[in-house]
Amino acid sequence: MKISFIITSLNCGGAERVVSALASELIKRHEISIILLSDDPIFYPLDPSIRLIQLDLYKPTHSFKDKLFSNFHRIYTLYNTIKKENSDVFVSFMTQTNILSIISAKLANKKIIVSERSDYNFLQNRYWRIFRRVFYPLANKIILQSHQEAQFYKNAAVIANPITIQCPTLDKEKIILAVGRLDENKGFDRLIKACRNLPSEWKVVIIGEGAQKDTLQSLINSLHINALILPYTSNIAQYYAKASIFVLSSHKEGMPNVLLEAMACGCACICFEYSKAIYEIIDTNNGIVVKNIEELAVQLSNLISNPAKMHTLQQHAQQIKHRYNTHTISTQWEKVICDID
């Protein structure tokens, strides 16, 4: 079977990692290509048999007219690429790319599956929300990450993210870890504020890049917290392996890859209740869910003062890798792809 994935880029990110993992697994049994709408660098390793098509369709736009023209140009170029590729099924990731892909695939009379990665209410742009409501029902199948999201869509299937990370030998240190884009949604300021009264020998490590770096660094300095902000690295596993505690401080998420990776690497995990979907991952045995900064501060203090509880959470958290291993998840994807009418 010939399958083409469509995504904006394969730069660092959760959806990008999932596409890379699925493509590298499915290439063992199918002909796989990946259509990239941008020419950003490739961050994740790929099987060399996978064919890459980079369209370079993302240029800076400023006016509404420019943005409208750019999207028409993307649809036209993507339509021609889909016609040329002539794959049996096209699989798109991320909301805006999904909408462009649905239009292009339907014009080309090709089958299209879209993967929605975000919380339904996360999309703020009024026009894209309208486009989603109009065009998503035209997809042959919509893949969601949680059953919580399934209430908003028809013709949907729920498939979780695969855990692809390979952790080295665990050698836990007094480190509280967080990973993600340095933007307002990730809520790293909430983590920093919750850590203001922790023992000085405990270090907070935030790995990520983004517009809020200077703001977060200023907050760290003003609160005199033992904390570091480090750039993304392809060897993120070494940080998970060393961290005793992982905190997901986001305001909104889909299915957070960083949480699954941290659990697989034996971190005691604390998460904000960004939606009820978090309980599809976290239960009372393998993690802790909090609702505000004060609760986070209390739970961090409790774990630090209770090593036995921390160790229990770490042990239970690691079981997540059996539920979400790459073979299991790719098999679920393969069944959906092959069963499309």
DSSP string, 146-203: -TTGGGG-SSEEE-PPPB---------EEEEEEES-SSGGG-HHHHHHHTTTS-TT-E
pTM: 0.84
Q: Are residues 30 and 43 in the same domain?
A: yes
Residue 168 located in a structural domain: no
Cβ atoms of residues 53 and 36 within 8 Å: yes
Residue 98 located in a structural domain: yes
Q: 264 is in which domain, residue-wise? A: 173-323
**Strands 173-179 and 156-158, sheet pairing:** unpaired
Q: Are residues 111 and 193 in the same domain?
A: no
Residue 274 located in a structural domain: yes
CA dist list (Å): 133 to 118, 136, 138, 221, 267: 15, 6, 10, 45, 39
Q: Are residues 136 and 203 in the same domain?
A: no
Q: Are residues 134 and 212 in the same domain?
A: no
CA distance 9 to 53: 10
**Strands 243-248 and 173-179, sheet pairing:** parallel
Q: Are residues 29 and 129 in the same domain?
A: yes
Q: Are residues 191 and 142 in the same domain?
A: no
Cβ atoms of residues 264 and 163 within 8 Å: yes
Count of H helices and E strands in the chain?
12, 13
CA distance 41 to 49: 18
Q: What is the three-class DSSP state of 16?
A: helix
Q: Are residues 54 and 188 in the same domain?
A: no
Task: Walk along the chain (341 residues) and give the pLDDT tens digit of each residue.
Answer: 999 999 999 988 889 989 999 999 999 999 999 999 998 889 888 999 999 999 989 877 778 788 888 889 999 999 999 999 999 999 999 999 999 999 999 999 999 999 998 888 888 889 999 999 999 999 999 999 888 888 899 999 999 999 988 887 778 999 999 999 999 999 999 999 999 999 999 999 999 999 999 999 999 999 999 999 999 888 899 999 999 999 999 998 878 889 999 999 999 999 999 888 899 999 989 999 999 999 999 999 999 999 999 999 999 999 999 899 999 999 999 999 999 87
Residue 73 located in a structural domain: yes
Q: Are residues 301 and 334 in the same domain?
A: no
Q: Are residues 188 and 331 in the same domain?
A: no
Q: Are residues 180 and 290 in the same domain?
A: yes
Residue 332 located in a structural domain: yes
Please tell me the total count of domains within the chain: 2
Other CB atoms within 10 A of residue 65 CB: 9
CATH of the domain at 256: 3.40.50.2000
CA distance 153 to 162: 22
Residue 167 located in a structural domain: no
Residue 53 located in a structural domain: yes
Q: Are residues 114 and 181 in the same domain?
A: no
Residue 58 located in a structural domain: yes
Q: Are residues 12 and 136 in the same domain?
A: yes
